[in-house]
Structure 1
């Protein structure tokens, strides 16, 4: 299984009608077609969500998790969406074991619902909700190097048939979503250069993302970028593969696969 860095849209926009939903239609089409490009159906999925931060890394460990509708001001019907995938306490234990072995403290969490960074893209990709799912938080420090260590610790899961997804957005300046986004092309070029190199190159370049001239304009706060650090490090030393790029309004957004 590869490790993926995927955009998860804008709130529940994939399941809305109207102009805002149309902004995200190409992204939705990409996500819907993505499973057919994988080598096989995953045995399970681990999603590292931009919308969950904790002082100690949290791992969803229940057999079932409700949905956390952590978006605001959207049509009422978007608060009735369902995604009845089962959890996997066994996989959660395995994730915690791998992290602990790497010196990364982690805790099970059987009560927090799956946020929209988890259920929204998976509802498009796997609408039947037939694949067991474990969600993971970011560490609240949002340190790029630390999240690379987290990804490296999870790498062996890929050989166990587990699909690892970093769920975020490669460009996430909401103030520029409907205006101009002059930095999005430049930041995407930086990602091209950084991610199409071998593993050591990716680590060095990603750890220095703030040094890029458009780094902070692309990510005023980095929670939507940090899942990329996990996905990239969970991959092998082979160059990353850009599997999609498209515009959301003026903003250029991309998705990546690490084999």
Structure 2
């Protein structure tokens, strides 16, 4: 059965392991924990693109064993640098994804040493705590070109018919200096409404809007830099069907959303 393509928020830092942070992300925790039950069947594997990895080409993790974890956050308790989530890699999926991207004339590469960053292991550890689904991570392209990431998602769409869950992990609002500021609540809500409308269009209409997301209201306020929004482009590009607003809550004075593409 065809798997959906999803864009999920990954929250802030290692929040599931932080007693003081976890209540803040209570809604997200419930959404992620219930995520496997919303799929048509258990995924054969997950291809995930995180807002925390940029490379000169679309790069896949191609190691055979558990790739390990990359604790790419700072200033947290020592215990959060000992977190384990030993999901296996999937060399067959890395090769297949690389081939699909190459067929679409997109720049590709493979990486055998890099571990999963926290944009991967944080949300997936909540959704699949047993770490029993093979995972391959895909980088962003360092150009941060939204149209290029929409094209990558389009190229990867056949994976969905092969039992692979295509998943973008980022944040629909990502302005670290504005979190918690009540002045950002209204702008973030307006940008979020624009995103919900754009995601709800069909493939061609959605691509046209998302490729020019900078023209959305308060776009630069919500995303001074676009790396946390680009995983949405990959997920949205992998479907021609109208998307749905799969998750939404307000955290630290800003709207946070997730999307599903059938």
TM range (shorter): over 0.9
Mean Cα deviation higher: 225-234 or 169-178: 169-178
Taking the aligned partners of 1:185 and 1:2, their CA distance within structure 2 comes to 26
Are 1:227 and 2:239 matched, yes or no? no
Q: Secondary structure at the match of 1:45?
A: strand
Asked if the contact 1:14/1:25 (under 8 Å) is kept, the reply is no
Asked if the contact 2:194/2:217 (under 8 Å) is kept, the reply is no
Find the counterpart in structure 2 of residue 4 from structure 1: 6
Taking the aligned partners of 1:165 and 1:129, their CA distance within structure 2 comes to 16
Taking the aligned partners of 1:212 and 1:179, their CA distance within structure 2 comes to 21
Find the counterpart in structure 1 of residue 141 from structure 2: 139
Cα deviation digits, residues 129-162 of structure 1 (max 9, x gap):
0011100100000000000110000000000000
Find the counterpart in structure 1 of residue 82 from structure 2: 80
| Number of residue pairs aligned between Structure 1 and Structure 2 | 257
Find the counterpart in structure 2 of residue 252 from structure 1: 255
Asked if the contact 1:62/1:88 (under 8 Å) is kept, the reply is yes
Structure 2 regions of 5+ residues with no counterpart?
A: none
Following superposition, the deviation at residue 61 of structure 1 comes to 0.2
Asked if the contact 1:170/1:254 (under 8 Å) is kept, the reply is yes
Q: Secondary structure at the match of 1:86?
A: coil
Following superposition, the deviation at residue 6 of structure 1 comes to 0.3
Mean Cα deviation higher: 214-223 or 179-188: 179-188
Asked if the contact 1:231/1:258 (under 8 Å) is kept, the reply is yes
Q: Secondary structure at the match of 2:139?
A: strand
Find the counterpart in structure 1 of residue 209 from structure 2: 205
Find the counterpart in structure 2 of residue 162 from structure 1: 164
Cα deviation digits, residues 154-178 of structure 1 (max 9, x gap):
0000000000100000011111212
Are 1:66 and 2:68 matched, yes or no? yes
Cα deviation digits, residues 70-125 of structure 1 (max 9, x gap):
00011111111111111011110000000000001211100011100111110000
Runs of 4+ aligned structure 1 residues displaced above 4 Å come to none
Following superposition, the deviation at residue 213 of structure 1 comes to 2.7
Q: Secondary structure at the match of 1:53?
A: strand
Are 1:191 and 2:195 matched, yes or no? yes
Find the counterpart in structure 2 of residue 149 from structure 1: 151
Taking the aligned partners of 1:136 and 1:39, their CA distance within structure 2 comes to 23
Superposition RMSD on alpha carbons, in Å? 0.8
Cα deviation digits, residues 43-79 of structure 1 (max 9, x gap):
0000001000001111000012010000001111111
Taking the aligned partners of 1:116 and 1:190, their CA distance within structure 2 comes to 27
Taking the aligned partners of 2:114 and 2:127, their CA distance within structure 1 comes to 22
Mean Cα deviation higher: 75-84 or 43-52: 75-84
Taking the aligned partners of 1:219 and 1:14, their CA distance within structure 2 comes to 24
Mean Cα deviation higher: 41-50 or 170-179: 170-179
Asked if the contact 1:42/1:162 (under 8 Å) is kept, the reply is yes
